[in-house]
Structure 1
Amino acid sequence: MTVRVIWFKEMLDTLRDRRTLWAMILGPVLIMPIFVLLPQKLMQGQVETQQRERVRLAVAGAENAPALMAHLEASGEVVLLETSDPAEAVRSEEAAVGLILGEGFEAALLEERPAEARVLADESELTGGVQVGRVYNLLDSYRQSVVEARLESRGLDPDLVVPFSLESVNVATPQEMSGAFLGMMLPMFIVLWALVGGMYTAIDVTAGEKERLTLEPLLTTPVGRAHLVLGKLMAVVTTSLVALALSVTSMLVAFALVPLWNGDGEALRVQVDIQTALLLVLASLPVVLMFSALEMAVCILARSFKEAQNYIVPLQFVVLIPAIGVMVMPDLAPPLAGYAIPIFSTLVVLRDLFLGRVDVAAFAVMTGSALLYAALAVLLALRQFGRERVLFRV
């Protein structure tokens, strides 16, 4: 009963604090979908625009290949810009792609000798590959037409030089494709919000109480020190879970409403089944408890709200470093013992949950070790609240 009273009191204080409400509700609901979807939509819009527009192609030596120029113009996909320096035209963004045709280009083709052509592009442009690919396709179609003409002039079937057809088929289901995308990004955000979601509450129930001079009167009440810590811890865990749930839900809803773009023009609808959602919650609970207890243990050392914020910053790097590592190495498969590493193991399991390839033993090791670390963090918080030098540090 005493723990519940302390929890209720801290939750009332939390709901009165605008900073906590922002971190718990508005931040996850508004910021996360924008942060994830906006770059995706901007990139998609830019690529679609480039696919619709004609490619500005700077050509040097156009007089050497009148038939090729006619082929490019007839395609309706390029705007030809004759210049003596295609490289400078590309660098100055006067043209998107450059093309240099060697002397005697068309004569070499007529004499059935290799002709020389070079395509120039600025590879520092992230979306420049779309326009370069379109130019390559046009040049390749012209090259194929030359080969077919040569074979037909000899009475040969052009299919003779095509021994077999080749087609790439993606056997992954749409759910697996969307899971691969979610598994790359969401684990980092889940673990990060497990830390950030309850941060302001953790600061408020520790350093905030010190700064407002309300901690000492609270300690003089008949409430046991352990009950006091557990009540405050429950409040931090509650706000963290609410923030985490809102963050993940808002992103999943956003992904469901706005399909992902896979780079090939195909829309992917995000789907997360009930079983996966329950396992995500189960995998997240221990790390939420661990972070909440650690935040309280660290923040009680501070004299003020601002000082506590400074103490919390290093914890964010503890999350970000392994999160980025898991994100850039999507095929990372640690040994079973690796699932006992705190934070890292949670990130890997969350990623595998989205990919639908969780190993039961790995999940059990991660959960068991995470609960152990959470218990140690709670004991640390209890120890900190039992030290008078820490509580009355001024």
Structure 2
Amino acid sequence: MKPRFMVVLVKELRETLRDKRTLAMLALFTVMYPVVLGFILQQMVNRATKPEREGAEVAVIGAARAPTLMTQLRQKNFTLREVAPMDEEGIAALLKGRKTVAVLRVSDKFAENYEAMRPAAIELWFDSAADTGSRTRDIEDVINAYGSNIAGARLLAHGVSPATLSPIKLQRYDTGTNASRSAAMIGSILAALFFPSFMLGMATAIDSTAGERERRSLEVLMAQPARAADLVVGKWLAAGTLAMVGVTLELALAHLVLSWLPLEEIGMAWSLSWGGLAMVCIAALPLSLFAAAVQVALAMNSKSFKEAQSLLSFVMLVPMVPGVLVSMLDLKTATWMYLVPMLSDQTLLREMARTGQVEAVPFVLTFLSSAVPALAAVAFASWRMKSERYVLAV
């Protein structure tokens, strides 16, 4: 004989899947977050590689006075365009058009000062409000290297080694990997991948509790030979099943998107394997059950369908607060993070993406951090279902 809660589960799933609008919303929330994440990262890649693909235009006033510097700028993939002398307003108007990343104005006395071994002035004009900061720094690096070469040549001409000006030789070694940088950069974005856990089952949780009570169909259901716990568990599992399936598909889609994007162009990498993703998905299953349990419990205690919708719409924002705070405060990974629902899943996915291997304890804590409060919420809802005041909405 089929358990009674399974009968309720099948009944709730059948009613939910029969509604095409509900299915459309489930599909939307499943696909939306991976697509948005992929779009954001693709824009970052395009922005980082655009200068290399298209180069950058630099307007130069008096380019003939420093031909060697112009040659070095062209070697760095800068397109030089010589323009007539102009005042500050003209330079500002030229930069405002955003076609030119910077304006170089070589002083009229550049050659005279150069020959006299006095500082030769070069003005670099740029718009800090434009998204050209990296290319402006590249121009500064070329000019600094150009000045260092001149200083070295002058020292050699006077019989002094250029090494005299560099008594310390600093060697920099970065032990960070692309994977670790990726986890730090998109750690806050990963939290959005678990947010549908609180979205996908909400409609079913509200309709099967507050909705059925308003339609008076809940009285008929409770007249059947089934315990209150069977009814609650069936409704809980129906909402949780939709959320679990949706989140699993969403994580798989996000994994495909992140694996396909050329993240190495922006110093990032996504090295999570399908096996690691499967372990994260298993650990994240209780999060969907926890969300469904809380939604069922709160919807049951709402006086109307609209009140349940308003209440749960606000409650859905609460699980995102710890993840946002941790990202803003830039806190290091700690054990207590695996004890907070949703934050634990976000932290686990970030660590798996960063290192590729995580010990068993974080998986267990992540699983239990949502499973235990989910069972507590179901127990409370089952106790609440026994009340005639609830069923009759009095």
Q: TM-score range by the shorter chain?
A: 0.7 to 0.9
| Residue equivalent to 2:347 | 348
Q: Which amino acid aligns with 2:52?
A: Q
SS class of match (1:378): helix
Provide closer, same or farther for how the CA distance between residues 296 and 69 of structure 1 changes in structure 2, counting only shifts above 3 A. farther
1:164-216 deviations in whole A, cap 9, x for unaligned? 76565544455545555564432x12431221121222122223323444222
1:169 & 1:80 partners in 2: Cα distance? Answer: 40
Distance, in Å, in 1 between the alignment partners of 2:285 and 2:106 is 63
| Residue 33 (structure 1) shift | 2.6
Q: Which residue matches 1:250?
A: 253
Change (3 A) 1:102 1:317: farther
Cα distance change on mapping 1:353 and 1:174 into 2, 3 Å:
same
For 2:283, the equivalent position in structure 1 comes to 283
* Partner of residue 57, structure 1: 58
For residues 234 and 15 of structure 2, what CA distance do their matches in structure 1 show? 13
Deviation at 1:358, TM superposition (A): 4.5
Tell me how far apart the structure 1 counterparts of residues 366 and 166 of structure 2 sit (CA, whole Å).
53
Q: Does 1:108 align with 2:135?
A: no
Query: Residue 155 of structure 2 corresponds to which residue in structure 1?
Result: 151
Give the deviation of 1:46 after TM superposition: 3.3
Contact 1:183 1:355 in 2 (8 A): no
Q: Work out the CA distance in 1 between the residues paired with 2:392 and 2:125.
A: 69
What one-letter code is carried by the residue in structure 2 that aligns with 1:256? S
> Shift of the alpha carbon at 1:105?
4.1
User: What TM-score results when the alignment is normalised by the length of structure 1?
Assistant: 0.83
CA distance in 1, matches of 2:44, 2:323: 24
Whether contact under 8 Å (1:183, 1:354) holds in the other structure is no
More displaced stretch, 287-296 vs 383-392: 383-392
- The answer to whether the 8 A contact 2:49-2:265 is kept is no
Q: Shift of residue 348 of structure 1?
A: 3.0
Q: Match for 2:189: what amino acid?
A: M
What is the aligned partner in structure 2 of residue 240 from structure 1? 243
Match of 1:124 among 129, 133, 143: 129
Larger mean CA deviation between 176-185 and 282-291 belongs to: 176-185
| Alignment-mate amino acid for residue 11 of structure 2 | K
1:214 paired with 2:213, answer no
Inter-partner Cα distance in structure 1 for 2:118 and 2:213: 85
Helix, strand or coil at the partner of 1:96 = strand
Instruction: Check the 8 A contact 2:198/2:316 in 1, yes or no.
Output: yes
Aligned equivalents of 2:70 and 2:283: distance in 1? 56
**In structure 1, distance between residues paired with 2:320 and 2:102:** 38
Displacement of 1:102 in angstroms is: 5.7
Aligned AA for 2:311?
A: Y
Number of residue equivalences: 384
Superposed displacement of residue 248, structure 1:
0.2
CA distance in 2, matches of 1:154, 1:73: 26
Contact 2:66-2:106 at 8 Å conserved across structures: no
Q: Which amino acid aligns with 2:200?
A: G
Q: CA, structure 1 residues 107+119, in 2 after alignment: closer, same or farther (shift >3 Å)?
A: same
CA distance 1:104–1:384, change in 2 (3 Å): farther
- Normalising by structure 2, we get a TM-score of 0.83
Q: Match of 1:271, SS?
A: coil
Q: Report the secondary structure of 1:268's partner residue.
A: coil
Q: Using the aligned pairs only, state the percent identity.
A: 25
Distance (whole Å) between structure 2 residues aligned to residue 318 and residue 305 of structure 1: 21
| CA deviation vs aligned residue, 1:341-390 (integer Å, no higher than 9, x gap) | 44444433443333337465555555444333222222232233233333
| Distance of 2:393 and 2:169 partners within structure 1 | 77
Residue deviations 1:42-89, cap 9 Å, x none? 232233333333433355xx45x7433663267431334443113453
Q: Any unmatched runs of 5+ in structure 1?
A: none
Structure 1 counterpart of 2:198: 195
Trace 1:1-394 onto structure 2 (pairs within 5 A).
1-28=3-30, 30-58=31-59, 62-63=61-62, 66-68=64-66, 71-72=69-70, 75-76=73-74, 77=78, 78-81=80-83, 82-85=85-88, 86-93=91-98, 95-99=100-104, 104-125=109-130, 127-156=131-160, 158=162, 161=165, 168-180=172-184, 183-186=187-190, 188-264=191-267, 268-272=269-273, 274=275, 276-302=276-302, 305-334=305-334, 336-337=335-336, 339-356=338-355, 358=358, 364-393=364-393
Mean CA deviation greater in 378-387 or 5-14 = 378-387
Give the 3-state SS of the residue equivalent to 2:58 in structure 1: strand
Q: Deviations over 1:63-122 (max 9, x none)?
A: 5x7433663267431334443113453245363224455674443333333344453433
Determine if contact 1:148/1:158 at 8 Å carries over to the other structure. Answer: yes
Output the CA distance in 2 between the equivalents of 1:386 and 1:223: 12
State the 1:233 CA deviation: 0.6
* CA shift in 2, pair 1:130/1:221, >3 Å: same
3-state SS of 1:221 partner: coil
8 Å Cα contact 1:175/1:271 also seen in 2: no
- Displacement of 1:223 after TM fit? 1.5
CA distance in 2, matches of 1:212, 1:25: 27
The AA in structure 2 aligned to 1:13 is: E
Contact 1:233 1:292 in 2 (8 A): yes
CA distance in 1, matches of 2:38, 2:194: 19
CA–CA distance in structure 1, aligned partners of residues 34 and 340 of structure 2: 30
The 3 A distance-change label for structure 1 pair 40 and 141 is: same
